[in-house]
Amino acid sequence: MKKLLIGSAVLAAMSAPAFSAEEVNVYSYRQPFLIEPMFEAFTAETGIKVNVMFSKDGLAEKIEQEGEFSPADVVLTVDISRLAELSSKGLVQPVESEVLEENIPSQYRDSDDEWFALTLRTRNVYSSRDRVGQLGEDFDYTDLADPEWEGKICSRSGKNAYNVSLVASMIVNHGEEKAKEWLEGVKANLARTPQGNDRAQVRAVSEELCDLAIGNSYYLGKMVNNEEQKAWADSVYINFPGAEANGTHVNVSGMAMAKYAPNQENAQKLMEFLTSDKAQEMYAEVNYEYPVKEGVERSELVASWGDFVADDIALEAIADHHAAALRLIDEVQFDL
């Protein structure tokens, strides 16, 4: 497992002995450049040093293996399924905090206070500017199964966490039978076998391989500010499905306090700081995500994409249907 260690100390060198009262240790799925600015601001404000271990995968397994000797205080991750996994495996602990309760809407935090959302991202449909134009406000995810789009949709693997959560939301909103029919319809409309990441789908639209692409909102910001990818972004409109139905599907990045956190007080301070106006504004600017705290302004670029109505499904409900969503994806052989 590849790891990139950042911060003012290296976690790998931390063994069980004692930890400074002015430290906090973070295990992160989030890339260093996305989170380091927030940690630097936290240290400047509190004097508490943040030590970070970054990994693309396997953090839950690592914490499980380390058991009570784990140095992890806070875990940062993306997608509700990973947050739920930490909770279901008993790797995190409840955090009772009036600050977190006030800053994070109830649908974006665990009812037992074991995990909390930090930022929001929407699951969008991108449409070709030249061949399709902007989709209307009445466009819904269900329309992706309409024969009108046969051979015109690009998507990454159905088993990618972002797509699994979207399917889970369809199950919650429409029932399992309807969700399966929808998934079969979307598969029938694919222009090619699912492949690549979200940006690769937008690129495919720009190369006229398809007319619609499914992808997360923040990738548009990344492409706009990437010289090599800006042409891809310029070839599409971003659309927020569900305005007149259930709303736009929302997923999150989030955090939890590790079960055996050796620096619990500092960990809670960091978690509360990450939901503050200052940190939420930094998240919005750095990664083109939507602040989870109400009232915090979006970045200028993100605001230019327009408003959306978020699906009000509690994230817990989506996590509860994760296994069913995976089963449906297998049953329809979406990736084949």
pLDDT tens for the chain, 336 residues long, are: 333 333 333 333 343 333 445 999 999 988 888 899 999 999 999 999 999 999 888 889 999 999 999 999 999 998 899 999 999 999 999 999 999 999 999 999 999 999 999 999 999 999 999 999 999 999 999 999 999 999 999 999 999 999 999 999 999 999 999 999 999 999 999 999 999 999 999 999 999 999 999 999 999 999 999 999 999 999 999 999 999 999 999 999 999 999 999 999 999 999 999 999 999 999 888 889 999 999 999 999 999 999 999 999 999 999 999 999 999 999 999 999
List the end-to-end C-alpha distance of the chain, in Å, as a whole number. Answer: 28
Q: Which CATH superfamily is domain 122-249+309-331 in?
A: Periplasmic binding protein-like II (3.40.190.10)
Q: Would you say domain 3-119+251-304 falls under CATH 3.40.50.150?
A: no
Q: Do domains 3-119+251-304 and 122-249+309-331 have the same CATH topology?
A: yes
- Comparing C-alpha atoms, which of 62, 69, 122 is closest to residue 89? 62
The domains of the chain are located at: 3-119+251-304, 122-249+309-331
Residues in the chain: 336
3-class DSSP assignment, residue 238: strand
Q: Are strands 23-28 and 74-78 parallel, antiparallel or unpaired?
A: parallel
Q: Is the pTM of this model over 0.75?
A: yes
